[in-house]
Amino acid sequence: MVVWTKMKCSAAEKWGLPAHELFNQRSRYLCHRFVFPSVIVSVVGGVLFWVLIAGSGWAAEEEPAEVLPNLPLKTGSLVIMGGSERFSHREFWDEIVELAGGPGSKIAVFPTANGDPVKNGGRVIAALNKAGADSFLVPVAWKKVALTPVEAVSDPDLVAQVREATGVFLIGGDQDKIVKALITPEGHQTPMLEALWNVYHKGGVIAGTSAGAAVMSRVMFRDAESVLETMLKGVHFGTEIDRGLGFLDGEWFVDQHLFVRGRFARTLVAMQDQGFRFGIGVDENTAIVVTNAKDVRVIGHKGALVLDLSQSEHDPALGRFNLKNARLTYLDRGDQFDLKTRKVQPSQEKLDDEKLDPKSPEYRPARRRPLFFNDMLGNTTLVDMMGALMESVSPVAMGLAFDGSAARKHSVDGFEFKFIRDDETVAWYTESFGGDDYTIVNLRLDIRPVRITGPLYERDD
């Protein structure tokens, strides 16, 4: 009897991912959806089944993966840093060393993304060792080291050294170099990447900054243009975006340098293109610490942005990037967040201070000037706007993004941003850290394409 059997991936279904997008700890696909005919022969006198594969071959989307053991249940910690962290800001380095096991912990520093790997890798080693670690450089790099990346990632001594570590640090630079070094052209994990997963699954910490943060999600920005150009032209898998290493929950997309470089908008473009419902972006000199594969805590100078497209809408008829009802949540230093439930826990300093709830009769915003921002992609414009909107009489703030230099000469394409404080929005505020610090939950964002009429202005002289 010929039986048609459909192979499914329980892990993919559990995590809500297409099976062909899910990596396991060896960076091969856990499973593929395929159908094959089989003949089952029953032998009298025992329970013995032989499965004979009929037909000319597999009818698969991709070549089947190697059969591997189940993923270990234990997970370690992630420290995802937004870039430009200060070596003098000890909170980062102390946190990483503590998660790696405390004083004397072995932390493998990978300078793979960097153009000056030995010099800049050495700076990270010094910062970690000052916090008590016994860190060391792993010479997987594209220049200024003795071995090629292909040689280094398969070197048994180097691989063994990393496997024995309790922490890993991926420094900044070009994230594509990290992926190209650690994953083969065929899409398989190298022995070195297996060693990184081994560190994570035995309870160690995987930390990364800038490029080292980008690779934490299963899809990452690879070689993107400016944020505005990304909005205008979109993204393509294999060019502007590509696969990452996937240490973070597969439902989440990661970006870095978020507020300083206005990258929240490009994050939305990538999320919409790849079908991500959730994303998190980390600002410079800031980090999120992820434990238990879901519990997030913000440390450092500024904060992180949670982007929720689970209820958003998109109109293909408009031709260019657009969305309605995206939800933005700003997490400040000390705040906590659950990746599974998406529950926000503000820092104790804010809980002890002021709650800003538009539904409360005690909510009395003071700002009366309309909120309009000419460059929504500017340095920290987004987080400044979010705070201002919570203090504004008007529940709406508007902004634009366009090429101002080109608009001096002629009309240009751009985007309108509309931020709405509605009944789902709530915030907390404190000055305990020496400035204005907010936690802001569930601001609505709509983005639509517009045409900016040019020349934008004329000079009297």
Q: CA-CA distance, 415 to 115, in Å (whole number)?
A: 35
Task: Give, in words, the CATH class of 77-348.
Answer: alpha beta
Instruction: Give tens-digit pLDDT for 53-89.
Output: 333 332 333 333 333 344 444 689 999 999 999 999 9
Percent of all residues in the chain with a pLDDT value above 70, rounded to a whole number = 84
When pLDDT is averaged across residues 123-142 and rounded to a whole number, the result is 98
Q: CA-CA distance, 325 to 314, in Å (whole number)?
A: 9
Beta strand segments in 272-353, E: 278-282, 286-291, 295-300, 303-308, 323-332, 336-338, 344-345
Instruction: Give tens-digit pLDDT for 282-301.
Output: 999 999 999 999 999 999 99
Does 412 have pLDDT greater than 50? Answer: yes
Dihedral through CA 65, CA 198, CA 255, CA 31, nearest 10? Answer: 20
Instruction: Give tens-digit pLDDT for 350-394.
Output: 999 999 999 999 999 999 999 999 999 999 999 999 999 999 999
In this prediction, residue 109 carries a pLDDT of 98
Q: CA-CA distance, 265 to 401, in Å (whole number)?
A: 10
Residue 137 three-state SS: strand
In this prediction, residue 458 carries a pLDDT of 87
When pLDDT is averaged across residues 276-281 and rounded to a whole number, the result is 98
Is the separation of the CB atoms in 61 and 32 below 8 Å? yes
Q: Which residues contact 180 (CB under 8 A, 6 or more apart)?
A: 149
Question: What is the rounded average pLDDT for all residues in the chain?
Answer: 87
In whole angstroms, how far apart are CA 142 and each of 65, 146, 170, 213, 273? 29, 10, 14, 19, 31
In this prediction, residue 31 carries a pLDDT of 36
When pLDDT is averaged across residues 123-136 and rounded to a whole number, the result is 98
Q: CA-CA distance, 134 to 117, in Å (whole number)?
A: 18
Does 277 have pLDDT greater than 50? Answer: yes
Domain with CATH 3.40.50.880 in the chain: 77-348
Instruction: Place 147 in a pLDDT band, splitting at 50, 70 and 90.
Output: very high
